[in-house]
Each structure stands twice: as structure tokens, then as C-alpha cells.
Structure 1
Amino acid sequence: MNLLFTPTLGQAWGLLSVAIFFEICGTVCMRLADGFTRPTPSVLIFVFYAFSFAINTMVVRVLGLSVVYAVWSGVGTVITAAIGVWYFKEPATALKLASIGLVVIGVLGIHASTVD
């Protein structure tokens, strides 16, 4: 009996977006946990990452490891950096913005190089 759900191509992309959402939530909780001094966000780090990795395990069966990890980490990085700038008031330096642009270019390049 196959206990893992194998999504269709369209479902895989939708699930990847859900995995990215959970990854972003887990990463934001890292900041909110304040060095594991706040219990709720500290626990949520692990909960959100567990959901994200579980979903990625299903998605990687369809989209492939290189695309899943590049999109998951790249989109997560860009959105988390934006949250850092807008919500946590971190500086948006020219170098930071240029580097985010390079992450986007890298993810697009890996995606474009993959044969579906």
C-alpha cells in the first residue's frame, strides 16, 4: 500500500506554494522566538518546518529535487527578506536588494534548465 500521495503536476505546484508558506512561517517564528525564550514561536518553528518538509517530500516525486529545492528556498528567501524589511524594519540596502534579484535569477535559471 502506497501511503504517500503522488500529486499531479498542477497539484505539485500548488503544494509547493503551501510548503513555501509553511517555510516562511517557520522562519518568521525564528525571529519571534527570540532565541528560544518565547515558547509558542519556538515550538511553531518545528511544526511549520515539519509540515513544509512533509509536503516537499510529496512534491519532489513530481517536480524533481533541483526545482523543488530551488523554488522552495529561493521564493522563501525573497519573501522572508521582504518581511524582514517591511515588518521587522531591517535595512533594505542596495546590496541586499541586488542579492535578492540574483536569487530570483538563479531560481528562474534552474527552472528553465529543467526538462518537464
Structure 2
Amino acid sequence: MNKAWLMLALAITAEVIATTSLKASAGFTRPLPSVLTVCGYAASFWLLAQILKTLEVGIVYAVWSGVGLAAVALIGVFLYGESVSLLKALGLLAILVGVVLLNLAA
């Protein structure tokens, strides 16, 4: 795995932490989750800016948003008890398949 792909994994992790913390921040009324949200998004976007020096924007954004979306959806189910249905699961699967196809086409 080259450096850009490792940085993309870190950008996704930072974004997932930020989004999960955003829910926990209760509208930015809780200090620690609020700080994690701002710092996580800042780190994620800084990493994305570095990655885009070497990788294609379409591929980077597809992977970042698709994997991030799937991870946040799963965390929502397991951490926050959010609902899951067959239709939601199929939607997530469709997104992940799309990300894989874009990477294969690159």
C-alpha cells in the first residue's frame, strides 16, 4: 500500500470519528465531542488535500465518501441503536460496489 492510500485510510478514519462525534456533541453543547468533530474534519480535509496531489479526485472522493458512509451507518446501528432494514443494507452494498467498480476502472 503506497503512502497516498494509507493517508486516505487515515482521512476516512478522521472523518468517521468526526461524524460520530458530531452526533455525540448534542448540537455542539458537549465540549469534548465538539472538539473531536472540528479536529476530525480538519484533519480529514487536510489529508484529502495532500492525497489529491497524487491520486485522482473522482477515485479519492468515491472511496472517502463511500467507505465513510458505510462505516458511519454501521456505527450508527451498533453505537446509537439506529434502525436497519433490508433496503438500507442493499443501499450500502450498492455504494460499496460502486466504489469497487470505480477503483477497478482507474
TM over 0.5: yes
TM-score (norm 1): 0.87
Counterpart residue number, 1:36? 28
Q: Does 1:20 find its partner at 2:12? A: yes
Per-residue deviation, residues 40-95 of structure 1 (Å, max 9, x unmatched): 21122111000001011111111110111100110101111110111111111111
Q: Aligned partners of 1:97, 1:35: CA distance in 2, in Å?
A: 28
Could you list the runs of 5+ residues in structure 1 that have no partner in the other structure?
A: 1-8
Q: Aligned partners of 2:55, 2:103: CA distance in 1, in Å?
A: 10
Q: Which of the residues 44, 49, 56 maps onto 2:41?
A: 49
Q: Counterpart of 1:24 in structure 2: which amino acid?
A: V
Number of residues paired by the alignment?
Answer: 106
Alignment of 1:1-116 (within 5 A): 10-114=2-106
After superposing on structure 2, the runs of 4+ consecutive aligned residues of structure 1 that deviate more than 6 Å are none
Counterpart residue number, 1:5? none
Could you list the runs of 5+ residues in structure 2 that have no partner in the other structure?
A: none
Could you say what secondary structure the match of 2:80 adopts?
A: coil
Structure 1 vs Structure 2 CA RMSD? 1.1
Q: Aligned partners of 1:53, 1:21: CA distance in 2, in Å?
A: 12
Q: Aligned partners of 2:36, 2:6: CA distance in 1, in Å?
A: 22
Q: Aligned partners of 1:102, 1:30: CA distance in 2, in Å?
A: 26
Deviates more, 1:75-84 or 1:35-44: 35-44
Larger Rg: 1
